[in-house]
Amino acid sequence: MSSPDAKRKKQAKQSAARKEKKRKEALAKRRLDAEKTRIWRENAQKEADRVAAYRQVPQPAISPETLTALMEMGAAKVVQESNMSGTLEVSADLAWTIDPWVWTRGEDPIPDQKYLDNGTEPPVVIYVNRDYQVSIFDDPGPGGGWPEMWHLSYKRRDREPFNDWRIKQRIKNSIVGPEHEGVELNPAESRLVDTANQLHLYVIKDPEVRFPFGFQNRMVTDHEAPGTKQRPGSGATDEDEAKFREVRYVTSEETHGSKQRPHPEGGQ
């Protein structure tokens, strides 16, 4: 049987072990909380940086191949502003002989005050390429969870009408970005504006936000499905064409009470 001293020592040892265990658990919890806080702050900063980035005025990109060609012919140069940054200056007329889709800054003939007098802000920037001019307005939206947008007001530089969807998509892609979604509006007659050969596209600033309508999956091809007519130049990749071939044969069968004629075997 243990003596009172031995029992007290055992109890003291057990108490010390419990305290040490609690201390280690508390330390581990503090470290875990600190790590969670660090990750939360890091993610919050990343999101803040992402939001700040898409709120920046769109800057059209030039493909590396086009930029190399422009530099070689002296149609583009970098004006150094500091050791870390510079501005690309492009000679538009020379650049457009290589690529008519090179965008350069344009000037607005309408004074800013005229916009303000009409209750609107002037465009934040104007871009022109060989054939088109795009004025970009900042549209914060009505609030209430509605996404911020860029309002692209665009036209042919010769002022003639056009309605080629691929041109519209390329303007959106090359100025704002390929993963940004935009819409045109067919308004009520009571608020119709039809005063010039000018088109308007409203593009969501955040490339991760999607409209709750529209097709959900990509389907692009230069070829034709039964009962359709297509033109080349869709920008379809090999993967796009493989997917189309697979789906085309599926939809050539009778589905949902409809009947399609099968595409000739191997036909393109």
Spatial CA neighbour of 106 closest among 135, 82, 83: 135
End-to-end CA distance of the chain: 96
What are the tens digits of pLDDT across the range 160-173?
A: 999 999 999 999 99
Residue 198 has a pLDDT of 94
Residue that wins the pLDDT comparison between 251 and 245: 245
Average pLDDT over residues 4-13: 80
- 262: pLDDT strictly greater than 50: no
How much is the pTM?
Answer: 0.73
Average pLDDT over residues 85-101: 83
Confidence of residue 178 (pLDDT cuts 50, 70, 90): very high
Mean pLDDT of the chain: 84
Residue that wins the pLDDT comparison between 119 and 185: 185
What are the tens digits of pLDDT across the range 10-39?
A: 888 888 888 889 989 999 998 988 888 888
Measured CA to CA, the distance from residue 199 to residue 134 in angstroms comes to 10
CB < 8 Å & 24+ apart, contacts of 55-60? 55/148, 55/205, 57/124, 57/125, 57/136, 58/125, 58/136, 58/150, 58/175, 58/176, 58/177, 60/103, 60/127, 60/174, 60/175
Coil, helix or strand for 176? coil
Average pLDDT over residues 205-210: 94
What are the tens digits of pLDDT across the range 44-62?
A: 787 777 777 777 888 888 8
Token readout for 266 is: 């191997």
Whether 118 and 137 have beta carbons less than 8 Å apart is answered as no
Handedness of CA 160, 192, 167, 222 (dihedral sign): negative
